[in-house]
Amino acid sequence: MGGNVSKEDIRGDTKEEEKPLVVVAIDFGTTYTGYAFSLVRSPTQIYTGKYKNKLVEDREPTTVLLKPDGSFDSFGYRAIRNYGHLSKQEQQNYRFFKTFKMELHNTTDLSHDTMIKDVRKREFSAAKVFSYVIEYLKSLAVSVMREDTTDLKENDIQWMISIPAIWSDSCRQFMREAATSAGIPEEKLRLVLEPEAASMYCRERLMVATGAASIDELPIGYKYILADLGGGTADICAHEIIERAKLRELYKASGGDFGGNKVDLEFYKFMINLVGGPVWTIFQDDYMPLSFEFMKEFEAKKKTFTSDVQTVSLKLENALLEILKTETDETLEETLSQMTSRYKGKLSYKRVDQRLEIKGDIMADFFKHSIDGVISKIKEILGECGEVQTLLLVGGFAESQYLRERIQAKIKNVRILLEQDARLAVMKGAVLMGYKPRNIIERRAWYTYGFSKVRLFQRGTDPEDLKVKKEDGKEYCDGLFDIQIKKGQIVKYDEMFPSSTIELLKDQASRKNTITIELWKSNRKTPRYCTEEEECSRIAEIVMKPPPKGWPERIRIERQLVMGETELQIQIKNATTGEKYETRLDFLEVNKTL
């Protein structure tokens, strides 16, 4: 970036004043997390946390250490090191977190109060842990940019945070709140979907694949699959290029737990099989820095594994062998001799250098679940989307040669391209998106969304349990699903969906009460009632405060959904007076009240 540049220099020849001066993106991964930034004068010249050694690597392990009072201690490699230096007693009081991003997605009732567990299974506020990480990375990014540009103001920075496409609306709100409580101003924050960010980064590759002279000339109608093979998840989707190099989502899918960490989990299972659960747990819990070292060794072998590798050799830590001896009174040789027949002749141990040798086909087994999952998802998408020309691979796990060999063997007639710096595609792509307008992509709705509506009861049609009698003496059906957005429908940024009007009668007693409006979603394309239990759920609520003099006797409320960049927004109007209400969809509060 060069020392002492002014804001004028950053702007360079760029005349587009509306573009941010600098964009910083944070990629919060299951396994690795980091930040990257660039300046508007050359957006594609992207610096990562490694610039000026703020971080040891472009992204560091997603690990956090908190002090006994719950304040932030350290992140990444530093957190691992600091935790390792603590005495046994101190380790009881500090809190160490790893691989906690998946927990958000797995929590069905995510709220402001959701807790996550540290390595010792003690609970702590999830919101705080996420916020600490963002605050820390933010401070690093700001400090490195200030070193070079002294007149840079926080207001000059556009912040981008990438999130998995499969995240629910409540996870998205959770991340937004974590970022704002970390000090990122709401108006300077954009959430971007990980596969879309990666897609942005891959456009150069697509240019090469299609022979286009520039990104704007990418052929309209060109379809590709983008597979972001990360640690926690494999996000696989298909995009089509539409006019002016915009993208349209053809298919969205989540590969579930087919990320690279599944390989590690299979290896854990193997180790438990080998040394026994209790020994492995003691090694993991009480010798964490050493177990990290051991997993680092495995990671190195995982990275270099190909189908030609005959034997994988792993150096076992002294501590592990000692624990085995103390707990079971056995040596590893004795343990090996008792392994099941499945491993006969496939494992050996060299005492002289403490190396465990594993035959290649056992190692291949560790990859099986992830690779099979990825391949079957890709096949499913190919079946659905018709002619797809290219498969773009990004994410750290995509850097595995073995995985690519397997994909190549099973997926024919599609050009497979591995993005350079695959593990950085999301983070760098998120930086690039910061300079782009928000309407670059059209997506498909995951669910049908709608409000609950009341109308006159239709005998013989409506379910009896939805029948209510109102003040006017008439019978109504309460709980009709008033569809706003249909599952699978293409939705565009800033798109407004048809409004839905309800009429409420307010008696004297309820004039000063709040009015709550509920947003529902359904797995069905055309649900009729909100009570179709298996399929529908209430996902957000909007609480409207009464005006100072209270509500009028009869109030007509117009409700309308608007598509934001990644989240739904809502507009509410008093249809009688035209008065608009300040509102926000709250996807987190609803989980507490359900």
Ligand X SMILES: Nc1ncnc2c1ncn2[C@@H]1O[C@H](COP(=O)(O)OP(=O)(O)OP(=O)(O)O)[C@@H](O)[C@H]1O
Binding site for Mg ion (CB under 5 A): 29, 230
CA angle centred on 570, ends 567 and 573, rounded to 5°: 170
Q: Name which of 212 and 314 has its Cβ closer to ligand X.
A: 314
Give just the sign of the alpha carbon dihedral 158, 164, 166, 172.
Answer: negative
Which amino acid is it at 271? M
Class of residue 579 by CB neighbours under 10 A (exposed 0-12, middle 13-18, buried 19+): exposed
Which partner from the list ligand X, Mg ion, none does 397 bind, CB cut-off 5 to 8 Å by kind? Answer: ligand X
To the nearest whole angstrom, how small is the minimum distance from the Cβ of residue 133 to Mg ion? 14
Least distance from Mg ion to the Cβ atom of residue 192, Å: 12
Q: Binds 31, which of Mg ion, ligand X, none (CB < 5 to 8 A, cut-off by type)?
A: ligand X
Contacts of 143 (CB under 8 A, 6+ apart): 54
> Which of ligand X, Mg ion, none binds 527 (CB below 5-8 Å, type-dependent)?
none
Distance CA 455, CA 96 (A): 54
Q: Residue numbers of the site for ligand X (CB under 6 A)?
A: 29-32, 101, 230-233, 259-261, 299, 302-303, 395-397, 399-400, 423
Closest approach of ligand X to the CB of residue 190, in Å: 18
The letter for the amino acid at 60 is E
In this structure, the dihedral spanned by the alpha carbons of residues 471, 475, 481 and 482, taken in order and rounded to 10 degrees, is -70
Residue closest to Mg ion (Cβ): 230
Residue 24 or residue 320: which is nearer to Mg ion going by CB? 24
Cβ proximity to Mg ion: between 299 and 357 the closer is 299
172 binds, among ligand X, Mg ion, none (CB under 5 to 8 A by kind): none
158 binds, among Mg ion, ligand X, none (CB under 5 to 8 A by kind): none
As measured in angstroms, the least distance from the Cβ of 399 to Mg ion is 12
Shortest Å distance, C-beta 399 to ligand X: 3
Is 158 buried (19+), middle (13-18) or exposed (0-12) by CB count in 10 A? Answer: buried
C-alpha to C-alpha distance for 339 and 250, rounded to whole angstroms? 48
34 contact choice in ligand X, Mg ion, none (CB below 5 to 8 Å, kind-dependent): none
Q: Which one, 262 or 486, has the nearer CB to ligand X? A: 262
Q: How far is the CB of 167 from ligand X (least distance, A)?
A: 10
The DSSP line for 449-472 is EEEEEEEE--TTTS-GGGEEE-TT
Which CB sits closer to ligand X, 299 or 541?
299
Contact 399, 430 (CB under 8 A): no
Least spacing, CB of residue 460 vs ligand X, in Å: 51
Strands 22-28 and 157-163: parallel
Closer residue to ligand X, CB minimum distance, 105 or 467: 105
**Interaction partner, residue 399 (Mg ion, ligand X, none; CB < 5-8 Å by kind):** ligand X
Asked if residue 447 lies in contact with residue 521, where contact means CB atoms within 8 angstroms, the answer is: yes
Cβ proximity to ligand X: between 20 and 260 the closer is 260
